[in-house]
Chains A and B, each alone.
Chain A
């Protein structure tokens, strides 16, 4: 429509010019003055917003006279531009009726059209009908004659120049609409029927080039026909098509059918596919052509586009069905290719005619369309690549290979924020009375939601929502010439799926087939409890029936078995799949949450004893079937592989895959985030009525993670990977993040319930009232010996780093530097850790050689430093050689006030060789004061000279209640001589205080170094403290036993937990104290560990102590942590290069 601006007729028309931007006017001037074709047709496109006004004004001008000429009763309503009626796709002007997609005909025609057609013996296109009817004067006989002798064609031919000649010189740009309405009015009534064959949707300008030369071949206003060369279905063409290059030539011919030229390739590409696939038909008017046409001259055309109504009827796309798992079609099938071409065509068309959706789910449509085209292009490239690559079979891909780009943190954040729009006004549902726990309000809300999902209750709000992939368009009311277009009542809109090219007249509802969903509450909000409440509150009808009348339920069994012939229905049973470490927890929670005897749960290990799961759970065994079967991903996988190894014979299988469960729950479902992993595939194969997925992180780091969940849930149509790929992965990879994320959001929205801990209810109350938590940083001062080791390692790391900086090889030596920093961190924990590592020794060796060569040899080597440290530890003998009476004396000393600082009791009471006590720190400082002045320190009390080796720390064992001595034990420990590293000593001091104050409290000690944990153990043993240990090396069974022991014991217990092994899932709410022995790079990991203890179910204040060595790399790590926190939330959009630089900065900070 915009190309109407070319019409020379318009020059000098003020109204016309006003409607356009200045640029257009100038160009118009050029155009009219020089008579040369404009360089680029794009230039002439007016801004979209000026378009409307332009259309109306411009078309008013030419419209009116044309109608004035049309004196005969035409039927413009049915055929919006009857003048160009037959010029559509039929290649030769065949008089025979075109194969109209719809056989229905216009019932309101005055001469009996049905009769006419039956006499003709064929269906006649409405266009032809219109002409004939116009000329026949309502006489059927005349009409028949006209039809058969072809005279109607003359009318058709003649009408064009007639009409166009008038439009060329719009002498009276009179205010419009009045005149044509006379003609329009009767037709309007006609159009109330729903039987239009084609409907106008818009016009656009296109460029063509002449294939002929000559004068006056074509001029402005001439109607040309747009044709595809249908006739040539030659073998050559087929070959072309087979090789992936199809011919896209679109010709335009004059009304005699002589070819004048072809459309430019750009446009022809998509126009051809639209014509070929019977989507549209085009009518064209010449806008500009040079008077003397030479071959290759540019001709400007205005194309009017009509959608064929047939496309709204028979289009079925099987895209949404779940095709088999071979996602990796090496090449597209011809059909798929056609679909894609068509989709691209439609999107391009809408872009060209600037038809905007009146309603859609995505915000920025201009971009969206471009994205779609890009995605298609990508697919094109891919298919070509694959063709050249040959067969790249899915099998060749490693099982763990993951594809898709990783999400940046901020993208993930944005996505989660969107998915978190939790509506606090959601109704609540009360759990069934058999449920023994009380739910919090938000849990009741999610129960309601889950019940609704399972029962598929139509949620009113959701029902009206449009399918996310569809867009709504309004049929244009007026065409490009501002002529009123026929409307069909009740059909003001049509709907297009720009992703698939599907079109529909019916509102595309967003369907929800999936009877389950994703419960993605943040850790600690009680996902398990919510699921258990669901298990109690929604039981299958079979079970409900059975409880009423325990009659036989056989008929239903038959009915159900239709799902699959080899799976028996297990209508009572919910299958829970969880990581091994959580099985025991699930079972105990299931029992705790149920009133006694109302829920039977078993843990299924897939061993022989339980082999006949099928018999146990099937419907005929309803009374004794378990309500909940808890199993691990490992069991699912092993049964799956077992079946596979038997070549898919499921008949003999009696395990998990032999049943159609009532419900499956995947706990920690990100386990299956990789859709190609066998575990994921195994889970897909399980059958159930309801599927639920529990995870705190539905997307770990790539969008495909979500796909796997969706696939498991069998959400149509997203569970089809190619579909997913086209609409999510492709836009994402082509950097259209917002679009991809928007689509993901629409996928997620109906599926996901997610709440976070920091959410607040509308009243401003937090969702979960957790007891307070305090985090305290405990400064640890390294002992002299430790400091020496530390300094050594530090100097070494720094040297390596600066050497690499100089050489510019920091990134190369990154791992080495990192390893050295790791060693620094270990030194902070315990210097022995450094010695324990063989690699270190090797590196040291190599390093020492290099240093020696560089003349940098150290005075002391690490080994001797560590020996000094070991010499200084664990030497207790002579301290305890003192007589018991001395100890008692000290213990019973009435005054327990430090004579120096008056602290009472003394902090770390220390005794001099002359048995005078003071705080350790006071005494040390006092002595230092003297030694600094080169004086001999003397006892503050008796002025005896003090020997620094004869200072002892008093270790009271009164915190150890398990020792049944009449009086608390005391032992002396030589000062400056530690039991272990300073950190361990500090930890022990904390634990001792804790045991004195809370003799039964449990605590968790986290470290990332299991070897460090091994060094803490002896200290705990010596202090007679009960401890348990859990790290990655421990088998699942002992793991459960350990956790149970920790949970159930009532003694003062310490759990040594490795940061990595304890990061997920565990529930350690029995503990009230957390000791973090070493900092991790990001605090988030530590926070997660802390949340093991500070989570739902915690009933007391939690105190967290983070042990940080002063003036060490650890202190600096805290700063890095702080900065990371900041970066993660503000700008995660860093390039890899920037990240690397950032890392170097981090290291610089650490080593400065």
Chain B
């Protein structure tokens, strides 16, 4: 199946006008898979200590499912109607991300819309890193510790970042 025009366009744009702090590279063997690296936003527990601007790299493997799950069952449908499947590969201490790396984010679920692009989704995730939302948790224990003792939780998060995330390139 030929790659939909949309994927091609989005990929081109991710490369030609990269979003600061985010890099998304399509997989060679499947152009629908993107290897994404997000720099933790500054001020967040996911930001690197040594270099102010520097951030730890969070590696996220994203499956942009603009492929139409439906396409296989309903022929002649050419519309993206499935949402982006996305999860963290790097172990991360975050109330909205579970142990398996799954993300709780409205735009990936109820609020998904075909108008959302990879770029916008990734920006949302970046924002989520900067503003954890323990009130709508996915990882209950993390959310609990976040609520009980936010500083401790942030410290844990920083530790995890240090241990599991790779350093940002200079």
Q: Does B78 touch A at the CB level, under 8 Å?
A: yes
Q: Does A140 touch B at the CB level, under 8 Å?
A: no
With A901-B5, A902-B10 in contact, is A922–B79 under 8 Å at CB? yes
Per the bound structure, the CA–CA distance linking A940 and B81 in Å amounts to 11
Per the bound structure, the CA–CA distance linking A1095 and B32 in Å amounts to 50
Q: How far in angstroms is the closest Cβ of chain B from A907?
A: 11
Is the Cβ of A902 less than 8 Å from the Cβ of B114?
A: no
Per the bound structure, the CA–CA distance linking A901 and B5 in Å amounts to 7
Q: Does B27 touch A at the CB level, under 8 Å?
A: no
Nearest chain-B residue to A898 (Cβ)?
B6
Complex interface: chain A residues within 8 A of B81 (CB): 925-926, 929
Is the Cβ of A900 less than 8 Å from the Cβ of B114?
A: yes
Complex interface: chain A residues within 8 A of B4 (CB): 901-902
Per the bound structure, the CA–CA distance linking A1021 and B5 in Å amounts to 36
Q: Does B9 touch A at the CB level, under 8 Å?
A: yes
In the complex, chain B residues 1-29 whose Cβ is within 8 Å of any chain A Cβ:
4-6, 9-10
Complex interface: chain B residues within 8 A of A621 (CB): none
Q: Does B113 touch A at the CB level, under 8 Å?
A: yes
Q: How far in angstroms is the closest Cβ of chain B from A355?
A: 75
Complex interface: chain B residues within 8 A of A160 (CB): none
Q: Does B111 touch A at the CB level, under 8 Å?
A: yes
Query: For chain A, which range describes its interface: under 10, 10 to 19, 20 to 34, or 35 or more residues?
Result: 10 to 19
Q: How far in angstroms is the closest Cβ of chain A from B101?
A: 27
Is the Cβ of A899 less than 8 Å from the Cβ of B115?
A: yes
Is the Cβ of A902 less than 8 Å from the Cβ of B5?
A: yes
Q: How far in angstroms is the closest Cβ of chain B from A935?
A: 10
With A900-B79, A900-B80 in contact, is A926–B10 under 8 Å at CB? no
Q: Does B152 touch A at the CB level, under 8 Å?
A: no
Is the Cβ of A929 less than 8 Å from the Cβ of B79?
A: yes
Per the bound structure, the CA–CA distance linking A903 and B111 in Å amounts to 23
In the complex, chain B residues 70-101 whose Cβ is within 8 Å of any chain A Cβ:
70, 77-81
With A903-B5, A929-B79 in contact, is A940–B114 under 8 Å at CB? yes
Complex interface: chain A residues within 8 A of B10 (CB): 902
Nearest chain-A residue to B114 (Cβ)?
A900
Is the Cβ of A922 less than 8 Å from the Cβ of B5?
A: no
Is the Cβ of B78 less than 8 Å from the Cβ of A901?
A: yes
Complex interface: chain A residues within 8 A of B115 (CB): 899-900, 918, 940-941
Complex interface: chain B residues within 8 A of A902 (CB): 4-6, 9-10
In the complex, chain A residues 929-972 whose Cβ is within 8 Å of any chain B Cβ:
929, 938-941, 943
Per the bound structure, the CA–CA distance linking A899 and B6 in Å amounts to 9
Q: Does A921 touch B at the CB level, under 8 Å?
A: yes
Most chain B beta-carbon contacts within 10 A, residue among A903, A925, A926: A925
With A901-B4, A901-B79 in contact, is A926–B114 under 8 Å at CB? yes
Nearest chain-A residue to B6 (Cβ)?
A902
Per the bound structure, the CA–CA distance linking A902 and B77 in Å amounts to 16
Complex interface: chain A residues within 8 A of B114 (CB): 899-900, 922, 926, 940
Per the bound structure, the CA–CA distance linking A903 and B9 in Å amounts to 9
Per the bound structure, the CA–CA distance linking A926 and B66 in Å amounts to 13
In the complex, chain A residues 735-764 whose Cβ is within 8 Å of any chain B Cβ:
none
Complex interface: chain B residues within 8 A of A903 (CB): 5
Q: How far in angstroms is the closest Cβ of chain B from A322?
A: 69
Per the bound structure, the CA–CA distance linking A899 and B117 in Å amounts to 9
Q: How far in angstroms is the closest Cβ of chain B from A332?
A: 73
Most chain B beta-carbon contacts within 10 A, residue among A903, A918, A926: A926
Nearest chain-A residue to B80 (Cβ)?
A900
**Interface of chain B: mostly helix, strand, loop or mixed:** loop
Q: How far in angstroms is the closest Cβ of chain B from A942?
A: 9
Per the bound structure, the CA–CA distance linking A549 and B140 in Å amounts to 119
Complex interface: chain B residues within 8 A of A899 (CB): 114-115
Per the bound structure, the CA–CA distance linking A280 and B114 in Å amounts to 102
Q: How far in angstroms is the closest Cβ of chain B from A895?
A: 11
Nearest chain-B residue to A941 (Cβ)?
B115
Is the Cβ of A925 less than 8 Å from the Cβ of B79?
A: yes
Per the bound structure, the CA–CA distance linking A908 and B78 in Å amounts to 16
Complex interface: chain B residues within 8 A of A940 (CB): 113-115
Per the bound structure, the CA–CA distance linking A900 and B78 in Å amounts to 10
Per the bound structure, the CA–CA distance linking A940 and B79 in Å amounts to 13
Per the bound structure, the CA–CA distance linking A899 and B120 in Å amounts to 12
Nearest chain-B residue to A899 (Cβ)?
B115
Q: How far in angstroms is the closest Cβ of chain B from A657?
A: 68
Complex interface: chain A residues within 8 A of B77 (CB): 925
Is the Cβ of B78 less than 8 Å from the Cβ of A925?
A: yes
Complex interface: chain B residues within 8 A of A938 (CB): 113
Nearest chain-A residue to B77 (Cβ)?
A925
Most chain B beta-carbon contacts within 10 A, residue among A899, A903, A921: A899
Q: How far in angstroms is the closest Cβ of chain B from A1111?
A: 11
Q: How far in angstroms is the closest Cβ of chain B from A693?
A: 54
With A902-B6, A902-B10, A903-B5 in contact, is A921–B113 under 8 Å at CB? no
Complex interface: chain A residues within 8 A of B9 (CB): 902
In the complex, chain B residues 110-128 whose Cβ is within 8 Å of any chain A Cβ:
111, 113-115
Nearest chain-A residue to B70 (Cβ)?
A929
Q: How far in angstroms is the closest Cβ of chain B from A946?
A: 11
**Partner pick for B111 among A918, A922, A943, CB 8 A cutoff:** A943
Per the bound structure, the CA–CA distance linking A940 and B80 in Å amounts to 12
Per the bound structure, the CA–CA distance linking A929 and B115 in Å amounts to 14
Per the bound structure, the CA–CA distance linking A668 and B4 in Å amounts to 55
**Partner pick for B79 among A926, A939, A941, A943, CB 8 A cutoff:** A926
With A902-B10, A925-B78, A925-B81 in contact, is A941–B5 under 8 Å at CB? no
Per the bound structure, the CA–CA distance linking A941 and B80 in Å amounts to 14
Complex interface: chain B residues within 8 A of A925 (CB): 77-79, 81
Complex interface: chain A residues within 8 A of B5 (CB): 901-903
Is the Cβ of B113 less than 8 Å from the Cβ of A941?
A: yes
In the complex, chain A residues 34-49 whose Cβ is within 8 Å of any chain B Cβ:
none
In the complex, chain B residues 43-85 whose Cβ is within 8 Å of any chain A Cβ:
70, 77-81
Per the bound structure, the CA–CA distance linking A686 and B124 in Å amounts to 92
Complex interface: chain A residues within 8 A of B78 (CB): 901, 921, 925
Is the Cβ of A901 less than 8 Å from the Cβ of B113?
A: no
Complex interface: chain A residues within 8 A of B6 (CB): 900-902
Complex interface: chain B residues within 8 A of A926 (CB): 79, 81, 114
Q: How far in angstroms is the closest Cβ of chain A from B111?
A: 7
Per the bound structure, the CA–CA distance linking A921 and B70 in Å amounts to 16
Complex interface: chain A residues within 8 A of B80 (CB): 900-901
Is the Cβ of B111 less than 8 Å from the Cβ of A921?
A: no
Per the bound structure, the CA–CA distance linking A966 and B45 in Å amounts to 57
Per the bound structure, the CA–CA distance linking A940 and B114 in Å amounts to 6
Per the bound structure, the CA–CA distance linking A903 and B8 in Å amounts to 11
Per the bound structure, the CA–CA distance linking A921 and B5 in Å amounts to 15
Per the bound structure, the CA–CA distance linking A925 and B9 in Å amounts to 21
Per the bound structure, the CA–CA distance linking A940 and B117 in Å amounts to 12
Per the bound structure, the CA–CA distance linking A936 and B131 in Å amounts to 30
Q: How far in angstroms is the closest Cβ of chain B from A493?
A: 77
Per the bound structure, the CA–CA distance linking A26 and B111 in Å amounts to 105
Q: How far in angstroms is the closest Cβ of chain A from B105?
A: 15
Per the bound structure, the CA–CA distance linking A929 and B4 in Å amounts to 19
Complex interface: chain B residues within 8 A of A941 (CB): 113, 115
Most chain B beta-carbon contacts within 10 A, residue among A899, A903, A929: A929
Per the bound structure, the CA–CA distance linking A922 and B114 in Å amounts to 9
Q: How far in angstroms is the closest Cβ of chain A from B62?
A: 18
Complex interface: chain B residues within 8 A of A921 (CB): 78-79
Complex interface: chain B residues within 8 A of A929 (CB): 70, 79, 81
Give chain B's interface residues, CB within 8 Å of chain A: 4-6, 9-10, 70, 77-81, 111, 113-115
A-B contact pairs, 13 of them (CB 8 A): A899-B114, A900-B6, A901-B5, A901-B6, A901-B79, A902-B4, A902-B9, A921-B78, A921-B79, A925-B81, A926-B81, A939-B113, A940-B113
Known interface pairs A926-B114, A941-B113; 13 further A-B residue pairs with C-beta atoms within 8 A, sorted by A's residue number: A899-B115, A900-B6, A900-B80, A901-B78, A901-B80, A902-B10, A925-B81, A926-B81, A929-B70, A929-B79, A940-B113, A943-B111, A943-B113
Give chain A's interface residues, CB within 8 Å of chain B: 899-903, 918, 921-922, 925-926, 929, 938-941, 943
Give 6 nearest A-B pairs by CB, closest first: A925-B79, A899-B115, A902-B6, A940-B115, A929-B81, A940-B113
